[in-house]
């Protein structure tokens, strides 16, 4: 009997350790936009040969890692394929400067095909979210309560776009947007990266500002250090309730697992704080409980 009780207790505690997760930063692909097949130099992370294998691997990892929901973004078509394959995906409309007409945007929101505006990669075009081209889209998001996810920090150095600018990635540059739309939930993706101090300040000052850990947890030792500094500062400022887990797996799905493992290894965060970041904060940001 004692052994049975012991086994039962062990099973129960093992279950409690397997916390549920929301990954707010994934990317969906179709073959025409897929650029995988080559391992990522950070730890030789494998990349599936095509978009279908990539989707399969992502779903498998979501099953084994207990990921309940994931926000995906890229083309509308890629999102459609992914949503057909698995109902845990939440569609985000990715945009740089080329966007669908505003009426179509409004319609897709009404049809549930857009639930998040982003990832918005304005920095790749050398502009910020404060540029007037985004205003009509932000107005629509504000009208329907659609959260906005905005790339902060420098653009990917590998991008060949000559328009990209490092300092346009500073979240301080979008303060006017944050202040103009106090009810619009805005996520500073990648937590500002090199500009993480400004991300923390905006989160502490404005109730509508959140951040995700984006690519920081896996892409290099330098970004991992930024994640640690950012999280410690969030703890000091009392804003851990606005930090969300995201992996930004791109064409390397196993980065999701690496990110979770790295995050769980951070011993300055309590189990409760980890649960908030891995699940509860995102649930609030995405309005999952309102549905
Ligand atoms: Zn991303």
254 CA from centroid of ligand 1 (Å): 15
Number of domains in the chain: 1
Q: Which two tokens stand for residue 29?
A: 């692909």
Q: Is the pTM of this model over 0.75?
A: yes
- Residue 249 belongs to a domain with what CATH number? 3.20.20.140
Residue 35 pLDDT > 70: yes
Range of the domain at 124: 19-286
Q: What is the pLDDT of residues 195-234, one digit of tens each?
A: 999 999 999 999 999 999 999 999 999 999 999 999 999 9
| Residue 64 in domain | yes
157 CA from centroid of ligand 1 (Å): 14
Q: What is the pLDDT of residues 60-74, one digit of tens each?
A: 999 999 999 999 999
| Residue 4 in domain | no
| Residue 222 in domain | yes
| Residue 6 in domain | no
Q: What confidence category does residue 45 fall into, taking pLDDT thresholds of 50, 70 and 90?
A: very high
119 CA from centroid of ligand 1 (Å): 6
| Residue 3 in domain | no
265 CA from centroid of ligand 1 (Å): 23
| Residue 181 in domain | yes
Q: What is the pLDDT of residues 258-278, one digit of tens each?
A: 999 999 999 999 999 999 999
**Ion ligand 1, residue ranges at CB < 5 A:** 119, 248
Q: What is the pLDDT of residues 118-165, one digit of tens each?
A: 999 999 999 999 999 999 999 999 999 999 999 999 998 888 999 999
| Residue 5 in domain | no
Q: What confidence category does residue 14 fall into, taking pLDDT thresholds of 50, 70 and 90?
A: very low
| Residue 235 in domain | yes
């Amino acid at each position: 009997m004692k052994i049975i009780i012991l086994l039962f207790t062990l099973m129960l505690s093992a279950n409690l350790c397997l916390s549920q997760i929301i990954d707010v930063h994934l990317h969906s692909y179709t073959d025409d936009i897929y650029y995988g097949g080559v391992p990522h130099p950070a730890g030789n992370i494998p990349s599936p040969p095509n978009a279908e294998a990539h989707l399969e691997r992502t779903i498998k990892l979501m099953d084994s890692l207990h990921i309940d929901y994931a926000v995906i973004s890229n083309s509308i078509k890629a999102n459609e394929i992914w949503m057909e394959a698995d109902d845990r995906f939440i569609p985000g409309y990715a945009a740089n400067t080329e966007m669908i007409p505003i009426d179509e945007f409004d319609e897709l929101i009404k049809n549930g095909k857009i639930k998040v505006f982003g990832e918005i990669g304005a920095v790749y075009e050398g502009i910020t979210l404060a540029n007037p081209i985004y205003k009509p889209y932000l107005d629509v998001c504000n009208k329907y309560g659609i959260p906005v996810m905005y790339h902060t920090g420098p653009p990917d150095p590998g991008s060949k776009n000559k328009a990209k600018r490092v300092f346009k990635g500073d979240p301080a540059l979008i303060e006017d947007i944050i202040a103009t739309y106090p009810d619009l939930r805005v996520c500073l993706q990648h937590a500002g990266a090199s500009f993480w101090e400004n991300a923390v300040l905006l989160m502490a000052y404005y109730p509508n500002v959140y951040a995700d850990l984006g690519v920081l947890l896996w892409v290099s030792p330098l970004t991992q250090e930024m994640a640690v500094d950012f999280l410690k500062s969030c703890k000091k400022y009392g804003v851990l309730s606005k930090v969300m887990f995201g992996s930004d797996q791109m064409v390397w799905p196993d980065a999701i697992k690496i990110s979770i493992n790295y995050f769980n290894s951070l011993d300055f965060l309590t189990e409760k704080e980890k649960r908030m970041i891995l699940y509860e904060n995102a649930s609030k940001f995405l309005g999952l409980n309102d549905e």
